[in-house]
Amino acid sequence: MNSFFVSLRFSILAWIIVVVFAALASMIYFTDSLRRADVHDLANEAVEKTAVEVEAHSRLPGGHSSSAELIETYLSHEVPEANEVLVGVIDDRLVFQQLDSLTRPDVDARAFSPMVRSIVISEPASGITDGIHWGKITVPSAEGLDYVVVLVSTEQVYADLNRQTLIFAGLGLISLAMAAAIAWVISSRIIAPVREVAHVAERISQSNLTTRVPVHGDDEVAQLARTFNHMLDRIDEAYRSQRQFIDDAGHELRTPITIVRGNLELLDTATPAERERSIELCISELDRMTRMVNDLLTLAIAESADSDFLNIEQVDLSQLTIDIDDKAHMLTDGRSEVVGIGEGQVSCDSARITEAVLEFVRNAAKYSPAGSPIHIATTVEEGRARFTVTDFGAGVDPAQQEALFQRFHRGSLDNKDEQERTSSKGAGLGLSIVQAIALAHGGHAFVASPENSKQAPQGATFGIEIPIESTMT
């Protein structure tokens, strides 16, 4: 029960009830106030009207011989409203209207005699006493002052008004109950998709990320469901990638660990030459593990949104190309040569770009025939700078090109002599780092290799393409 009072449904229901109640209460209150003000104004107008009519009678042609005649004539001709009582005061004598056919049987005008006498002796010409609006019109006479007193009762009008207000309040409560029922239904429909999201979230586990929220319609709630499903897609993809990464990393690390352990176990019985060879193998495998760990750290830094992986600055493309060629010469024993130099300023991290291109150069030297050239080129086209390295080896199978930049992937070589010529294998992270460098610059890495390269070797071209202006996020 307590959970209901803190639920979204209760919040929606409570707010709708509060808003509807406030609207109805305000409407009833202001309507009642305006109607009461109208009753008050009408009563005052009735008093003022009587004063005007008495004044008009005093000015009729022929005149009146006395104030008593004026008052009696006025009372005999005037028909009061249902809530009005007209009384004449002549020589301290009260004169009531004689309209038996029009007088209501439930109204006794003489009952107002004490009030009339108190009004006559009071100074104000008008006022309100016990809910009765009254006015006193003075008529001068030879003997003194006579009066016409008008009494306008608002008691019955206010009683009717109170009864109508109660009826409106009752209708308002019925409307409030209907609004609450409608709000209950609407809130159920509103939170139903949210509950589906919650149920899906409860069913999600590390072993099951395939459940999705059903999407109905195209409103904000449907958009929430789509966004949640897209988030699950990304989480599922990241989880699969993580599991694959862990599996691959475990597989890659298992081999050097096994080699190191096996050689260490043989040290006690090995000859000095065998011992020295075992130590060299252990050091080599540990170095390979160190490089693998460093590469993994580099990738982790590259994929971190708040890392300082890049140091962007304005770089002269032609000078950067020459610097890369100088370092490539050292890695390839002079096999590399520049076949194209782009010109212009590029916003990039020159060290990271150099690292990426040299990774291509190392792979080209490893997987192409000894003595074959390695071409390096840079170009500028449509606001983007391109760095390419081309070798003349066996090329890359088109079926493998898409997977080359994935972690722990190694391209296969059809030439067994080339495989044997390669003295050491990498962990398959080099091209992944290249791709991370390209993506961090807002660009991408690519590979191109003719499909007929196996029959007539034409090599492969690896490269990265980045915008001239930095788009690093």
CATH of the domain at 253: 1.10.287.130
Q: Please check whether residues 11 and 143 belong to one and the same domain.
A: yes
Q: How many domains does one find in the chain?
A: 3
Average pLDDT over residues 430-459: 77
Selection from 361, 350, 354, 348 nearest residue 324 by Cα? 354
Do 292 and 427 touch, CB atoms closer than 8 A?
yes
Question: Model's pTM, two decimal places?
Answer: 0.49
Question: Is residue 247, in this structure, part of any structural domain at all?
Answer: yes
Question: Is residue 263, in this structure, part of any structural domain at all?
Answer: yes
Task: Identify which has the larger pLDDT, 175 or 192.
Answer: 175
Most confident of 192-201, 353-362, 390-399: 353-362
Q: Which helix (H) or strand (E) holds 151?
A: strand 145-153
Average pLDDT over residues 435-464: 78
Q: How many helices (H) and strands (E) does the chain have?
A: 12, 12
Task: Identify which has the larger pLDDT, 270 or 399.
Answer: 270
d(CA 239, CA 210): 12
Signed CA dihedral, 70, 72, 75, 78: sign only: negative
Selection from 415, 362, 371 nearest residue 389 by Cα? 362
Q: Please check whether residues 401 and 423 belong to one and the same domain.
A: yes
d(CA 11, CA 17): 10
pLDDT, position 319 = 92
The last residue of a domain, from among 259, 279, 302: 302
Q: Please check whether residues 31 and 77 belong to one and the same domain.
A: yes
Q: Please check whether residues 239 and 382 belong to one and the same domain.
A: no
Q: Please check whether residues 14 and 58 belong to one and the same domain.
A: yes
Average pLDDT over residues 409-432: 51
Residue 76: give the domain boundaries.
2-160
Q: Please check whether residues 347 and 293 belong to one and the same domain.
A: no
Q: Is the pLDDT confidence value at 216 over 80? A: no
Question: Is residue 171, in this structure, part of any structural domain at all?
Answer: no
pLDDT digits (tens, 9 = 90+) for 331-357: 888 888 999 999 999 999 898 899 899
Question: Is residue 245, in this structure, part of any structural domain at all?
Answer: yes
pLDDT, position 407 = 67
Q: Is the pLDDT confidence value at 457 over 60? A: no
d(CA 46, CA 98): 20
Q: Please check whether residues 406 and 329 belong to one and the same domain.
A: yes
Q: Is the pLDDT confidence value at 5 over 80? A: no
CA angle (311, 314, 317) in 5-degree steps = 110
- Report the percent of the chain where pLDDT is more than 90: 19
Q: Measure Cα distances from 323 to 30, 232, 313, 350, 363 in Å.
A: 85, 45, 16, 10, 19
pLDDT digits (tens, 9 = 90+) for 91-143: 888 888 755 444 444 556 778 888 888 988 888 888 988 888 999 888 887 77
d(CA 13, CA 415): 75
Selection from 118, 119, 151 nearest residue 134 by Cα? 151
pLDDT band at residue 428 using 50, 70 and 90 as cut-offs: low
Question: Is residue 371, in this structure, part of any structural domain at all?
Answer: yes
pLDDT band at residue 420 using 50, 70 and 90 as cut-offs: very low
Task: Identify which has the larger pLDDT, 359 or 66.
Answer: 359
Most confident of 80-84, 247-251, 417-421: 80-84
Q: Please check whether residues 6 and 35 belong to one and the same domain.
A: yes
pLDDT, position 473 = 44
Please give the structure tokens belonging to residue 438. 């390209």
Q: Is the pLDDT confidence value at 471 over 90? A: no
Question: Is residue 14, in this structure, part of any structural domain at all?
Answer: yes
The last residue of a domain, from among 302, 327, 362: 302
Q: Please check whether residues 333 and 459 belong to one and the same domain.
A: yes
Residue owning tokens 């897209």: 230
pLDDT, position 424 = 43
Q: Is the pLDDT confidence value at 426 over 70? A: no
Point out the least confidently predicted range of 76-85, 117-126, 198-207. 198-207
pLDDT band at residue 305 using 50, 70 and 90 as cut-offs: low
Q: Please check whether residues 320 and 357 belong to one and the same domain.
A: yes
| Residue 424's CATH number | 3.30.565.10
Average of per-residue pLDDT values in the chain: 80
Average pLDDT over residues 50-77: 78
Point out the least confidently predicted range of 144-148, 320-324, 414-418. 414-418
Question: Is residue 61, in this structure, part of any structural domain at all?
Answer: yes
- Residue 211, class by beta-carbon neighbours within 10 Å (0-12 exposed, 13-18 middle, 19+ buried)? middle
Q: Which residues does 25 contact at the CB level (< 8 Å), separation at least 6?
A: 172
Question: Is residue 257, in this structure, part of any structural domain at all?
Answer: yes
Q: Please check whether residues 282 and 320 belong to one and the same domain.
A: no
Point out the least confidently predicted range of 9-23, 142-156, 194-208, 251-265. 194-208
The last residue of a domain, from among 302, 332, 367: 302
Q: Please check whether residues 97 and 6 belong to one and the same domain.
A: yes
